[in-house]
Amino acid sequence: KQNIAILCSGGDVSGMNPALKRFVEYSLQNNLTPYFVYDGYEGLIDNNIQKASYCDVSGIINRGGTKIGSARSKRFMQVEYRNIAKQNLDALHVTMLIVLGGDGSFRGLHQFYKEHNIKFCGVPSTIDNDISGTDYCLGVDTALNMIKFSIDSIRDTASSFKRAFVIETMGNKCGYLALVSHLTSGSELCLIPETAYNLNEYEQKFKQEIQNGRRYFIAVVAEGIKEDSKEIARWFEEKIGIESRVNVLGHLQRGGNPTVKDRLMAYKFITYAIDALLDNKNETIVCYTKEGFRYKEINAVVNTPYQLDEELIKFINSPKATE
Ligand code: ATP
Q: What are the pLDDT digits (tens) for 199-227?
A: 999 999 999 999 999 999 999 999 999 99
Pocket of ligand 1 contains residue 103 by CB under 6 Å: yes
Single-letter code of the amino acid located at 65: G
Sign of dihedral through CA atoms 307, 308, 311, 317? negative
How does pLDDT run across 132-182, given as a tens digit for each residue?
Answer: 999 999 999 999 999 999 999 999 888 888 899 999 999 999 999 999 999
* pLDDT higher than 70, residue 321: no
Tell me which of 12, 39, 103, 128 is the catalytic residue: 128
Query: Does ipTM surpass 0.95 in this model?
Result: yes
If one residue of 12, 72, 79 were mutated to test the ligand 1 pocket, choosing by the most ligand atoms within 8 A of its CB, it would be 72
> Residue 258 gets which letter from DSSP?
P
Q: Which of 2-6, 131-135, 155-159, 280-284 comes out lowest in average pLDDT?
A: 155-159
Give the pLDDT mean for 75-103. 98
Ligand 1 center–CA 74 separation, angstroms: 9
Closest residue by Cα to residue 229 from 245, 207, 212: 245
C-alpha–C-alpha distance, residues 258 and 21, integer Å: 13
Residue 253 beta carbon below 6 angstroms from any ligand 1 atom: no
107 lines ligand 1 (CB under 6 A): yes
Closest CA to 246 of 223, 276, 265, 262: 223
Atom of ligand 1 at shortest range from CA of 130? 2
Q: What is the pLDDT of residue 61?
A: 97
Q: What is the pLDDT of residues 237-249, one digit of tens each?
A: 999 999 999 999 9
Sheet holding 283-289, edge to edge: 49-51, 32-37, 2-8, 94-101, 119-124, 283-289, 292-297
Annotated catalytic, 128? Answer: yes
Residue-averaged pLDDT of the chain: 95
Q: Is 193 in the pocket of ligand 1 (CB under 6 A)?
A: no
How far apart, in whole angstroms, are the C-alpha atoms of residue 199 and residue 214? 19
Look at residue 202 in the predicted model and tell me its pLDDT.
94
The model's pTM is: 0.95
Given a cut of 70, whether residue 322 has pLDDT beyond it is no
